[in-house]
Amino acid sequence: MIGTIAFRAPRPDEGAQLWELARDSERLDLNTPYAYMLWARDFRETTVVADVDDELVGFVTGFLRPEDPTTLMIWQVAVDESQRGRGIAGRMLDELASRTGAAAVETTITRANEASVRLFASFAERRGAEHTVTDLFAPEHFPGTEGEWEAELLHRIAPLRPEPREETEALDALEEAIR
Ligand SMILES: CC(C)(COP(=O)(O)OP(=O)(O)OC[C@H]1O[C@@H](n2cnc3c(N)ncnc32)[C@H](O)[C@@H]1OP(=O)(O)O)[C@@H](O)C(=O)NCCC(=O)NCCS
């Protein structure tokens, strides 16, 4: 279980691995392999993957909203089951927010996805940001109305502090100590 964790942008040829992680999560909406391949090529700057001992075990896909490029929209998050509970998803969000310098993070989550709600609530706490939840896509917006879709609520986290709270506080304490 212990291993060296590293975070980086995906390589353009790693889309298939993102698709496999999404498939194996059994929770995410599984898109076509092509969608993940395109993502790893064209949205790699707003996507992060986690390696444990050089094995790709997690990803966060995102994009800067064309209408508001200061907002980082997170599309999907997955961590291999064997690596969950180690803070990898949270650290991938931190990495992406820092790398893009986004002023806000948005995502949509269904009510039942407690892990995801906690992941984003915890990120908001670390960044000292407001976390608001509003309606976005209702079940009837999705194709087919047989009730197989759950409402996707829009979570918005803003304004973002530049770095996670602990790092900022540690720096503040260091500055105080040498003053
Ligand atoms: C959701 C998921 C990405 C979390 O990955 P992870 O690396 O285990 O998450 P972390 O260890 O970084 O935990 C982040 C926070 O979420 C909480 N959390 C993680 N899994 C949880 C669960 N099953 N139930 C409740 N809270 C959970 C953690 O306790 C932590 O909270 P804290 O910061 O207050 O301690 C992972 O469970 C997963 O891949 N699930 C399947 C796909 C999915 O549902 N993706 C999210 C929708 S986009």
Q: Is-cis flag, bond preceding 159, omega within 30?
A: yes
- Ligand 1, residue 21: give the atom nearest the CA: 39
Q: CA of 149: how far to CAs of 88, 133, 153, in Å?
A: 28, 19, 12
pLDDT of 166 reads: 67
- Which of 117, 118, 153, 154 to mutate for ligand 1's pocket (most ligand atoms within 8 Å of CB)? 118
Please give the domain boundaries of the chain with CATH numbers for all domains.
5-178 (3.40.630.30)
Residue with tokens 């060296």: 4
pLDDT of 179 reads: 67
Ligand 1 within 6 A of 23 CB? no
Ligand 1 within 6 A of 35 CB? no
pLDDT of 178 reads: 75
pLDDT of 164 reads: 62
The whole-angstrom separation of Cα 59 and Cα 8 is 10
The whole-angstrom separation of Cα 153 and Cα 150 is 9
Q: Which residues of the chain have pLDDT under 50?
A: none
Strand blocks (E) in the chain: 5-8, 48-52, 55-65, 68-79, 104-109, 130-137, 152-158
Ligand 1 within 6 A of 33 CB? no
Q: In whole angstroms, what separates CA 150 from the centre of its chain?
A: 20
* Protein residue whose Cα sits closest to atom 22 of ligand 1: 115
**pLDDT tens per residue across span 35-68:** 999 999 999 999 999 999 999 999 999 999 999 9
Ligand 1 within 6 A of 165 CB? no
Q: Is the pTM of this model over 0.75?
A: yes
pLDDT of 148 reads: 79
The whole-angstrom separation of Cα 149 and Cα 82 is 28
